């Protein structure tokens, strides 16, 4: 499978999962109209909707706003993982459909990570490195020689 088709399938599956998450969250909130449930539903809906827009790469003005502000961490794998984990933890409290979608959401993010190990080019297209990414602890070996830090050759 080519890199472009892999990236397209990752994005399509992410969009599909986020849409299902939104449906489950809105349904749970409407059938449990208690203040705390409405608050949790609102918070998780907003986070899921923002992650949906990021996965779709649109609308451009919102993506540019998020990219140029303090929310740029959402475009990294770590940021997406944290937001998906946040939503999944709340989904686990939303009856059987929430449990199913929380498991699917976590499975999706772990699946993207495991596929990213095998296809690093696709992973780099989907996510950018975080600003605090540091590889000084990485040790590279080449023909018996050991290099600390980055490898330039």
pLDDT tens-digit readout, 24-47: 999 999 998 899 999 999 999 999
Both tokens of residue 114? 């495991």
Start-to-end CA span in the chain (Å)? 29
Q: Looking at residue 131, what DSSP letter applies?
A: T
Interaxial angle between packed helices 77-91 and 35-56, expressed in degrees from 0 to 180 and rounded to the nearest 10: 150
Which distant-in-sequence residues (6+ apart) come within 8 Å of 37 by Cβ? 28, 29
3 vs 34, more confident:
34
pTM: 0.76
């Amino acid at each position: 499978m080519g890199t472009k088709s892999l990236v397209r399938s990752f994005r399509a599956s992410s969009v599909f999962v986020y849409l299902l998450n939104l449906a489950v969250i809105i349904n749970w909130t409407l059938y449990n109209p208690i203040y705390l449930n409405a608050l949790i539903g609102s918070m998780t809906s907003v986070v899921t909707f923002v992650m949906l827009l990021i996965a779709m790469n649109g609308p451009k003005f919102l993506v540019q706003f998020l990219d140029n502000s303090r929310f740029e961490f959402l475009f990294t794998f770590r940021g997406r993982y944290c937001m998906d984990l946040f939503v999944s933890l709340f989904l686990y409290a939303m009856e059987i459909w929430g449990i199913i979608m929380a498991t699917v959401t976590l499975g999706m993010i772990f699946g993207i990570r495991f596929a990213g190990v095998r296809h690093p080019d696709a992973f780099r297209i989907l996510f950018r490195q975080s600003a605090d990414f540091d590889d000084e602890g990485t040790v590279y070996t080449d023909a018996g020689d050991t290099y600390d830090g980055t490898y330039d050759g």
